């Protein structure tokens, strides 16, 4: 999951910390939406599945943040770990967009 071959710990920390913070922010917003609203364009199982995936990703990001802090930026995160989080954030953005559009059309 993590790589200890990081070239420059300060550079890695400067890039990785904000990225992980962004993941937490977007997963938190998505989790709030999924927990508080019934999204008609998603079936109950789809919404539950997406919520479970977001919750798992949040936990994974939290673990990555703890390890980054514990090692003072001495470890990186493999791209193979980051890419699924990026895809999930993009999926969450689409769900949020559809939710906003549905509210606007319903008004």
Express each pLDDT in 29-86 by its tens digit: 999 999 999 999 999 999 999 999 999 999 999 999 999 989 888 888 899 999 999 9
Number of domains in the chain: 1
Domain region containing 27: 17-34+44-102
- Per-residue confidence (pLDDT) for residue 105, from 0 to 100: 84
For residue 85, tell me if it sits in a domain. yes
Prediction pTM value:
0.86
The string of DSSP letters for 77-100 reads: E-HHHHHHHHHHHHHHHHHHHHHH
Residue 1 domain flag? no
Query: Quick check: 105 and 54 in contact, CB under 8 A?
Result: no
Confidence of residue 6 (pLDDT cuts 50, 70, 90): very low
Helices then strands (H, E): number in the chain? 3, 2
Lowest average pLDDT, out of 76-80, 87-91, 92-96, goes to 76-80
The answer to the question of residue 107 being in a domain is no
């Amino acid at each position: 999951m993590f790589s200890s071959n990081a070239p420059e710990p300060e550079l890695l920390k400067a890039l990785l910390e904000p990225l992980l913070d962004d993941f937490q922010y977007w997963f938190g917003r998505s989790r709030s939406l999924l927990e508080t609203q019934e999204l008609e364009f998603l079936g109950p199982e789809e919404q539950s599945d997406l919520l479970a995936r977001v919750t798992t990703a949040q936990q994974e990001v939290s673990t990555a943040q703890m390890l980054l802090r514990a090692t003072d930026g001495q470890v990186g995160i493999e791209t193979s770990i980051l890419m699924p989080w990026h895809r999930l954030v993009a999926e969450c953005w689409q769900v949020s967009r559809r939710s906003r559009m549905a509210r606007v059309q319903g008004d």
